[in-house]
Amino acid sequence: MTVLESLKNRAGLIVSGVASFVVLIGGMRLTSGEPLIQPQTDLGIVIGIAMVALYFVLNDTRGGGQ
């Protein structure tokens, strides 16, 4: 399985996870009165999402996603 095939197969899971995470973080920030965009924290979130996607790709390319 190639990287693009793996990402295409896992796209729904990744997108739904990102969407739910954005809703939760946005809701928490909104209710606590914090700014919705916080560059340093948001960069960490993006890096975490990329690491999860990389885990899926590595798992699938090694034969685990069949």
Q: What is the mean pLDDT of the chain?
A: 89
pTM summary value = 0.75
Residues of the chain above pLDDT 90, percent = 59
HSE-CB of 1 using CA atoms within 13 angstroms: 19
With bands split at pLDDT 50, 70 and 90, how would you rate the model's confidence at 64?
A: low
Contacts of 5 (CB under 8 A, 6+ apart): 60
| Domain residue ranges in the chain | 3-61
**pLDDT of 31-53, one tens digit each?**
999 999 999 889 999 999 999 99
